[in-house]
A = this chain, B = another copy of it.
Amino acid sequence: MSSSIDTRPVILTGDRTTGPLHLGHYVGSLKSRVALQHSHRQFLLLADTQALTDNAHDPEKVRRNVLEVALDYLAVGIDPVETAICVQSALPALAELTLLYMNFVTVGRLERNPTIKTEIQLRGFERDIPAGFLCYPVAQAADITTFKATVVPVGEDQAPLIEQTNEIVRRLNRQVGRDILVEAEAMVPTVGRLPGVDGKAKMSKSQGNAIPLSASPDHIRDAVRRMYTDPDHIRVSDPGRIEGNVVFTYLDAFCDDRQFVDELKARYRQGGLGDVTLKRHLDGILQALLAPIRERRARFASEPDYVMGILWEGTLKARARTEATLAELRAALGLFTLT
């Protein structure tokens, strides 16, 4: 007899739906999601509820980008048969568990969370922190645990969020006297963060230094042309610097031919390789990478009903899983159930 039990490790990850995804996402997360979707049971959360915690004034942006991000997923090769793509706001169990967990986490604990502290400063919230923003680590803990995810890909700076999640897991398991929730492990990416085309540490749509996955050939060419290199590399014959040179960082990230990149680096350091020629190489590589993504994206975008069907299917799978955990936890805690 064959068993239908899926024993693969469970990944929960996703994106706040605040803008279409870009090359930074491709390098930092999308590529590995595509690679992991067969060996892992993967849920991708279109995190519209979380996006509202600092975009409550612009829900229209959050709404619009649910489909945009979904299109990006499909365009890069997320296979909706392997990966459940689901809409966070269509999963009420997440909200219910968030409220429940909020009774087990103190305000002081949330205020001490380093990730939250940094982000409060970044957003200039200070004393006007929306309660939803302060509590979003609890919401995230609800997301992770409701899916019973064992592997959660996060940036290095987000490790405190996984720690907060596991604290809640241990607290709840202790109260019910058995391991009903599972601790999650952070999966920190091995590749560094892709800088913006202007050389700033982070590629971000709001900074205007991003190349979106849907970028047109002209957009890509123009972005590469404007890309930050070595400001002291004036003439072709001058020796140039590799460190902090965004073109080389991108070549390292996107060119599979390591030997070719090493040769370019040597010639650039030595002098004799101009920025125009160098950038032409990168442009060719990015054009080749993004052309099929852009085409697939356009094909999916022309069939919104089909995409909506994919989201429904993924959301129903996610609903079954999250409702089951909620019911299990409520029963274990001895909460009331209408029968």
Question: Which A residues fall within an 8 A CB radius of B?
Answer: 17, 48-49, 52-54, 56-57, 59-60, 62-63, 66-67, 87, 89-90, 92-93, 95-96, 98-100, 102-108, 110, 127-135, 138-139, 175, 308, 311-312, 315, 330, 333-336, 338-339
> Contact check: which of B90, B99, B107 meets A98 at CB < 8 Å?
B99
Closest residue to A172 on the B side, CB-wise?
Answer: B56
Q: Is the CB of B315 within 8 A of A99?
A: no
| Residues from chain B with Cβ under 8 Å of A87 in the complex | 336, 338
| Residues from chain B with Cβ under 8 Å of A175 in the complex | 57
**How many identical chains are in the complex?**
2
Q: List 24 A-B contacts (CB under 8 A).
A: A48-B336, A52-B100, A52-B335, A59-B333, A59-B334, A59-B335, A60-B334, A87-B336, A89-B330, A90-B338, A92-B96, A95-B95, A95-B98, A99-B99, A99-B139, A102-B135, A105-B131, A107-B130, A108-B127, A108-B129, A131-B134, A131-B135, A308-B339, A312-B338
| Residues from chain B with Cβ under 8 Å of A63 in the complex | 334-336
Closest residue to A333 on the B side, CB-wise?
Answer: B59
> Contact check: which of B106, B308, B333 meets A130 at CB < 8 Å?
B106
Rounded to whole angstroms, the CA-CA distance of A93 and B99 in the bound complex is 12
* Extra 18 A-B pairs, beta carbons < 8 Å, given A56-B103, A95-B98, A312-B338: A52-B100, A53-B102, A53-B103, A54-B103, A56-B104, A60-B334, A63-B334, A63-B335, A67-B336, A92-B93, A95-B96, A95-B99, A102-B132, A106-B129, A107-B129, A107-B130, A131-B138, A308-B339
Q: Is the CB of B92 within 8 A of A110?
A: no
Rounded to whole angstroms, the CA-CA distance of A54 and B102 in the bound complex is 11
Q: Smallest distance from the beta carbon of A89 to chain B beta carbons, Å?
A: 6
| Residues from chain B with Cβ under 8 Å of A17 in the complex | 336
Rounded to whole angstroms, the CA-CA distance of A118 and B164 in the bound complex is 29
| Residues from chain B with Cβ under 8 Å of A59 in the complex | 333-335
Given A59-B334, A96-B95, A98-B95, residue A103 in contact with residue B132 (CB < 8 A)? yes
